[in-house]
Amino acid sequence: MATQGLSRLNRKEKWIAFIFIFPLVLQFVLFLFGPLIYSFYISMTDWNIFGTATFIGFENYINMIQNDRFWRAMGNTAFYLLGIPIGLAISMVLAVWMNRGIPGITIFRFLIYLPVVSSIVAITILWQWMYNYEFGLINHLLNSVGINSVNWLNNRDWVKPAIIILGIWRGLGVSTIFYLAALQNIPKSLYEAAEIDGANFLQKFRHITAPLLTPMTFFLIVTGVINTMQIFVEIQIMTPAGGPGYSSASIVFYIWQEGFQYNALGYASAASWLLGLMIFVITIFNFAMQKKWVHQ
Amino acid sequence: MKNVKMKWLFSLAVCLLLFATACNGGADGGDAGDAGDTDGDTQEDITLEYLAFAQPQEQEIYQQIFEQFEQDYPHVTIDATFLPPDDFWQQVQTRLGAGTQPDVFYVAPGNLDLLVDNNQIMELTEFIEATGIFNLDEIWESGIRRYQRDGEIYALPKDVGPFAYGYNQDLFEAAGVEIPNPDEPMDWNEYIEIAKQLTIDANGNNAASPDFDRDNIVQYGADFWWPHAAVWSAGADWLNEDETEITMDTPEFKEALQFMYDLRHEHSVVPSHDAADATSGYVRWLEGTVAMFPIAPWDQAAFWDLDFEYGLMPWPAHPETMESRTWLGSLGIAVGSNTDHPQEAFNLVAYLSVDEDAQRQMMELGLQVPNIVSLADEFVELEHLPHNKHVWIDTIEEYGRQAPQERTYNPEWWDRYNETVVELWMGNYTVEEYVETYQPILQGLLDRANEQRERSSR
């Protein structure tokens, strides 16, 4: 008798729970899942946004795979991923340093987080000036130590590193704050035990800090990859044509250009699907590799 | 048990009701303007939605046009939205794609075919023939022609944008160079000689001097922006008549490219690639460190505060053809094909395009050359600089051509041309190599644009 009552209560709770999540499910279906499926259909058509869409099967996908621009944009995007490990290494060092309670830490924390809450457009325009060939701050600094000026944004070899540097600078705030939170969760007793055993700072970092930060590193890598694969605004503002020889164009820039500049919405949808698929595969891969290096 | 079920059903009903109201509320808000009251004598109150982009001064003038329009047509209210120029086309695309067309909006000539083929803008010919607001021959013919398809007119010009060649009179006088003749183009050879005398290094030597130091130039004879003027004057073009072929491999085209290449690499009279990246020609012109620079009418207001005198001349011409050629831009105003009020929408287009007071104000504020032919004399006589404003009028009537990328279904080939030709200007290719390498690639992109056209018009 008692068990039956409990299961009835259970069932009732389930329904109530369902009502609570129903609006969210509805929103997901209407504004996310629906458009997602529809965009897959569009990717199989020659839709130009206004006209009627003719079904053309996988033609867009085939054309895309044969298009050198698509692959160049892919290659550029892959290059941008290099910024992730560099950024994480810097922010880990910063976090460890900040965690030691240095004076003026609040100001420093504020400064490092400031880019995160600033408008990306404003930041990009600012950096565009810093990268200016003749008057930019960066070339000015390089000149002062005897290095020749670099035409950062109009040189095939330098435009991607320039954009990566901006990305790292902009991302430091978030990853440092996350690392700082993770550091504060590491039990002090571990360090005390190590100290009793005579471990120095580097040994403690290598055997305690770094391993215990791996879950946070994992999280930051996964989100970093997803964000970097979708980099767009910096590129559109700094290099409106996709850089010299298309050397800065990212995959989202390519999609935007095809869809909204050249009216090939069907083709652009196909590229979006491929991008989504790639992000999905990379994320699965990240999770699969997790067991090998992330401290559980 | 029953009670619980009832409660559940009730909650669901409330949810659905809320949802339905929310959706419906949105729809009602959308056409609030249409819901005006009517009586026997007056027309039904309507709202026209107008989507455009404009400089702040322009917006003020447009506001006056709207007020005038609303006085003349009391049943009409204008709901105008001005977007940032860079967002405009994307907004129009999404609005049209979603089936929520504005009644009146800007159309770039390059998008005209796409919009006509997909039945997004209304044919205006019959309205033009019937209207009492203006006669077609009051507007520049070259401003109308590009909005025509198969004899029908689909938009009226918001403006026409002639690019003339400007000269900094103070620099000419300082270098002892004769002021250019505004009515006869000089030829390319004369131009190069003049540009050399006006290009000066840090030691004060000009580019014609044997001691000239090309690595320390402080004043340039000219800006590098030359493409249309050089190619067209040489008798060449990027495209053939029916836009099916890229025609860059003609001797004339190569000669034009070579001429531009030499301006930079042979004569050093224009900024180098790196120098041009660091400081745009526009900034150099404002600073007074470049002697010749392309100028369009909308630049005037910004140039009034310059502390030097300047004037206009026709673009220098190829020595054999002696034909001065340049780009004549334009932006059109069109009526959405789904508008519920075609007549009122057309009338608004007419006001925006040819209202005499507004056109006069625009020209007096230095925003544009008037669209109305009869105002040209008044415009040319205006006090403010530049000298020789009639060169703009000559450009509209004679020198100006429509940009090649406006004639194709999308500008992808043109974007690629501009992106790749930089390699030539940097000196990474010879003209011959450049044309040989990129002609087929650009042809492929043009084919793709034409394929889009075919699909679209089917």
How many domains in chain B? 2
Strand B200-201 with B46-52, pairing: unpaired
Any A CB within 8 A of B271 CB? no
Q: Which residues of A touch B446 (CB under 8 A)?
A: none
Across chain A, what does the average pLDDT equal? 89
In a domain, B373, yes or no: yes
d(C-alpha B316, C-alpha B435), whole Å: 24
Any A CB within 8 A of B138 CB? no
Residues A66-123 pLDDT 10s: 998 999 999 999 999 999 999 999 999 989 888 887 778 888 888 888 888 899 999 9
- Per-residue pLDDT for B245 more than 90? yes
How many other CB atoms are there within 10 angstroms of residue A137's CB atom? Answer: 13
Give the model's confidence band at B8: pLDDT under 50 very low, under 70 low, under 90 confident, else very high. Answer: low
B92 and B235 assigned to the same domain: no
- Per-residue pLDDT for B265 more than 60? yes
In a domain, B37, yes or no: no
Task: Take residue B417 and report the two structure tokens written for it.
Answer: 């041309």
Find the closest chain B residue to A257 by CA distance: B412
- Per-residue pLDDT for A48 more than 90? no
d(C-alpha A112, C-alpha A173), whole Å: 5
Q: Which of A9, A21, A31, A50 has the most B C-beta neighbours within 10 Å, making it the best mutation to test the interface with B? A: A50
Any A CB within 8 A of B120 CB? yes
Q: Which residues of B touch A46 (CB under 8 A)?
A: 452, 455
Residues A167-176 pLDDT 10s: 999 999 999 9
Residues A149-189 pLDDT 10s: 888 988 889 999 999 999 999 999 999 999 999 998 888 89
d(C-alpha B390, C-alpha A205), whole Å: 76
Task: Take residue A247 and report the two structure tokens written for it.
Answer: 């050397």
B245 and B353 assigned to the same domain: no
8 Å CB contact of A19 and B8: yes
pLDDT of the residue at B23? 40
d(C-alpha B286, C-alpha B308), whole Å: 9
In a domain, B19, yes or no: no
Asked whether the beta carbons of B292 and B166 are under 8 A apart, the reply is: yes
CB contacts under 8 A, A 134-153 vs B, are 134-135, 149, 151, 153
pLDDT of the residue at A5? 60
8 Å CB contact of B420 and A245: yes
8 Å CB contact of A153 and B277: yes
Q: Which domain holds residue B91?
A: 46-161+330-381
Find the closest chain A residue to B5 by CA distance: A12
* Minimal Cβ distance to B118: which of A51, A242, A264: A51
- Per-residue pLDDT for B29 more than 50? no
Parse chain A into domains and list their residue ranges: 2-63, 65-293
Strand B164-168 with B290-295, pairing: antiparallel
What class, spelled out in words, does domain A65-293 have in CATH? mainly alpha
Residue with more model confidence, B22 or B135: B135
d(C-alpha B364, C-alpha B384), whole Å: 9
* Minimal Cβ distance to A48: which of B411, B422, B456: B456
Residues A276-294 pLDDT 10s: 999 999 999 999 988 888 8
B213 and B310 assigned to the same domain: yes
B202 and B223 assigned to the same domain: yes
- Per-residue pLDDT for B458 more than 70? no
* Minimal Cβ distance to B455: which of A15, A23, A46: A46
CB contacts under 8 A, A 65-104 vs B, are none
Residue with more model confidence, B134 or A127: A127
pLDDT of the residue at B5? 54
**A99-108, A259-268, B149-158, range with the lowest pLDDT:** A99-108
In terms of pTM, does the model score above 0.95?
no
Half-sphere exposure for B442 (CA within 13 Å, toward CB): 27
In a domain, B83, yes or no: yes
Task: Take residue B272 and report the two structure tokens written for it.
Answer: 């180098």
In a domain, B34, yes or no: no
pLDDT of the residue at A3? 52
Cβ–Cβ pairs < 8 A, chains A and B: 81
- Per-residue pLDDT for B426 more than 70? yes
ipTM > 0.90 for the complex: no
Asked whether the beta carbons of B64 and B358 are under 8 A apart, the reply is: yes
Mean pLDDT of all residues in B34-41? 38
- Per-residue pLDDT for B26 more than 60? no
- Per-residue pLDDT for B25 more than 80? no
Across chain B, what does the average pLDDT equal? 86
Task: Take residue B457 and report the two structure tokens written for it.
Answer: 């018009």
* Minimal Cβ distance to B274: which of A12, A22, A133: A133
Q: In a 3-state reduction of DSSP, which class is residue A69?
A: helix
Q: Which residues of A touch B93 (CB under 8 A)?
A: 49-50, 260, 263
B281 and B370 assigned to the same domain: no
Give the model's confidence band at B248: pLDDT under 50 very low, under 70 low, under 90 confident, else very high. Answer: very high
Task: Take residue A15 and report the two structure tokens written for it.
Answer: 């329904």
Q: What is the CATH number of the domain that holds B417?
A: 3.40.190.10
Asked whether the beta carbons of A31 and A37 are under 8 A apart, the reply is: no
Any B CB within 8 A of A27 CB? no
Residue with more model confidence, B5 or B316: B316
- Per-residue pLDDT for B218 more than 80? yes
Any A CB within 8 A of B89 CB? yes
Any A CB within 8 A of B19 CB? yes
pLDDT of the residue at A294? 80
* Amino acid letter, B165: Y
- Per-residue pLDDT for B132 more than 70? yes
